[in-house]
Amino acid sequence: MTYQPLGMDAETQAAISRLYDPRPVIPARWLLVALGGSVAVVAGLMVQNGLTLVWRDASFAAAVLVLGALGAGRVLLRDATAAGPRRLRDFCEFALLLVCFSAVGGLGSYAAASDTRGFVDPLLAGLDERLHFNWLTWYELVVAHPLLQHLGAAAYGSIYLSPLLLIGALAWGGKVCRARRFLLTYWLGAAITLALFPLFPAKGALDHLWHGAIPYMPTNGLFQGAIIPALRDHTFGAVSLGGMKGLVCAPSFHTVCATLYIATALPMRRMRWVLVPVNLAMLLATPVEGTHYLSDMVLGFIVAMAALALVRALEERHAPVQNAIPLWA
């Protein structure tokens, strides 16, 4: 069911469709509950494993300033009626949630890694063999072409830029429910990834498969193989927001994100021409720059599709109540 008033001509209905989203609005409280629950779970795991957050450094101060500015913008513009302030208000809301979800997820990967045992690299490498994927050949190709190294690193790092472009475009277009759908799916994909992480702790393909001097150090390098044992032994206890790196090998969260970004961008006439190629490039860069096995990426794709399906099911269930609500209500 969509918002389609009777007795209106096609031109009027087209104008209204630009102000009304044809999908049911996800209540803001769902996102707030998801964030609050995540903070509680991650905080509990950090306390349990003796982890602390470094707050006396520049990265923490910067995070506080950014979150404070976004929160202030959302509150001060809450009653905005003009188009420009409304767009800014919505962007502040979306960006605030996105940054919080990302920060809590990063901390959650450290907390989850503390409770892992062993490494499953042989299993993941064996699955790659069954998939007929040779990671060493992929890596050697990148080593032989410096341009691929620079392009791959840039594409891999776009994981932070793509969602900002998405929520910016959605805020500009007044697509509040699409933005909330994306944010809920992003949170759910991260939550499923962290829940599965303890089943698949891994050092990464570079650490496991490459022997001898390393001719090219990818973005993730040997970080996982060094930090996960330290977290298990409780010899690493202070986590800095500025120094965090993803610890999850399988499922590949870069693959989860790329899939979600592409799925969100495809219906957007202009953004898809930018974000689809960028995120396809990120997928191509993920094996080397993230030192991921192809099996990690397959699992990440499955997680993303499951998150998309679950959120769509929640929307369908909620549709009778929220259908045809104006975007700015």
The pLDDT tens digits of the residues spanning 288-307 come to 999 999 999 999 999 999 99
pTM over 0.95: no
| Total domains present in the chain | 1
What is the C-alpha to C-alpha distance for residues 280 and 286, in angstroms, rounded to an integer? 10
Structure tokens that stand for 190 in this block = 């991260």
For 7, the 3-state DSSP assignment is coil
- Choice among 118-122, 303-307, 312-316 with the minimum mean pLDDT: 312-316
Mean per-residue pLDDT of the chain:
88
For 48, the 3-state DSSP assignment is helix
Report yes or no on 171 lying in a domain: yes
Rounded CA Rg of the chain: 21
Report yes or no on 328 lying in a domain: no
C-alpha triplet 243, 92, 76: angle, nearest 5°: 125
Report yes or no on 13 lying in a domain: no
For 244, the 3-state DSSP assignment is coil
Report yes or no on 327 lying in a domain: no
Q: What is the pLDDT of residues 221-232, one digit of tens each?
A: 888 888 999 999
Report yes or no on 266 lying in a domain: yes
Q: Which residues of 60-99 are buried (b: 16+ CB within 10 A; e: fewer)?
A: eeebeeeeeebeebbeebeeeeeeeebbbbbbbbbbbbbb
Contact 55, 238 (CB under 8 A): no
Report yes or no on 304 lying in a domain: yes
Domain range for residue 56? 21-322
Report yes or no on 12 lying in a domain: no
What is the C-alpha to C-alpha distance for residues 187 and 198, in angstroms, rounded to an integer? 18
Number of H helices, E strands in the chain: 14, 2
CA 24 → CA 111, 175, 311, distances in Å? 35, 11, 11
